[in-house]
Amino acid sequence: MNKIAVVLALTLASLVTVSAQCPRIINRAGWGARAANSAVLPNRPAPWVVIHHTAGAHCTTDAACAQQMRNMQNLHMNTNGWSDIGYNWCIGENGAAYEGRGWGRQGAHAPGYNDRSVGMCVIGTYTNGIPNAAARNAAQSLISCGVSLGHISNSYWLIGHRQASATACPGNAFFNEIRSWPRFNPNV
């Protein structure tokens, strides 16, 4: 094999590895996002991942999750006055990851961490129960995907939103669940 063929083969192999770690991703156009303009994340790769819940209805289908994304974006932009939906990514119980602000954009999800974190929410309320296995697996896969793509530091720390500000988010049951996830930092 010549050098170009070897480089191409290695590049394709690495893309297959990364895509195997990434959950099914629905981009902004896929859920009908409004145009927005948010600041570039100044601290990259992000050293923190902040886990949230939306404290609203759950979604288990593409159509229901897309509607929830539009509802959240409208609330965040029209009521809160933000430049976009606050989260970088949202996870549905259909196992898909919905691009909010996406990689490399500063979120509006956890004061004190917005400029140095990726904010991921699971759509629904998780005070008394945890997200289903599809959502939990997608969230953990998305973190691995972000590390593989260089958007999240390989030495990142994971926290629940309640560790960043006075809130019940991501719900008691879900918070207890993420405490067992890799790289959870109990000292925040």
Structural domains in the chain (count):
1
The pLDDT assigned to 80 comes to 95
pLDDT-derived band at 20, boundaries 50, 70, 90: low
The pLDDT assigned to 97 comes to 98
Does the pLDDT of residue 13 top 80, yes or no? Answer: no
Mean pLDDT across the chain: 91
Residue 94 lies in a domain: yes
Q: Note the pTM of the prediction, 2 decimals.
A: 0.89
Residue 186 lies in a domain: no
Does the pLDDT of residue 11 top 80, yes or no? Answer: no
Sheet holding 46-53, edge to edge: 24-26, 96-99, 89-91, 117-122, 46-53, 152-160
Residue 77 lies in a domain: yes
> Averaged over 14-42, what is the pLDDT?
82
What is the token pair recorded at 27?
A: 């981009």
Does the pLDDT of residue 7 top 90, yes or no? Answer: no
Q: Which domain holds residue 135?
A: 3-178
Residues 69-106: pLDDT tens digits?
999 999 999 999 999 999 999 999 999 999 999 999 99
Residue 105: what are its φ and ψ, rounded to 5°? -115, 140
Residue 65 lies in a domain: yes
Residue 22 lies in a domain: yes
> Averaged over 151-155, what is the pLDDT?
98
Q: Which residue has the tokens 């010549």?
A: 2
Does the pLDDT of residue 136 top 50, yes or no? Answer: yes
32-63: string of b/e by CB count within 10 Å (b at 16+)? Answer: ebeebebeebeeebbebbbbbbbbeebbeebe
pLDDT-derived band at 154, boundaries 50, 70, 90: very high
Residue 183 lies in a domain: no
Q: CATH no. for residue 134? A: 3.40.80.10
The pLDDT assigned to 113 comes to 97
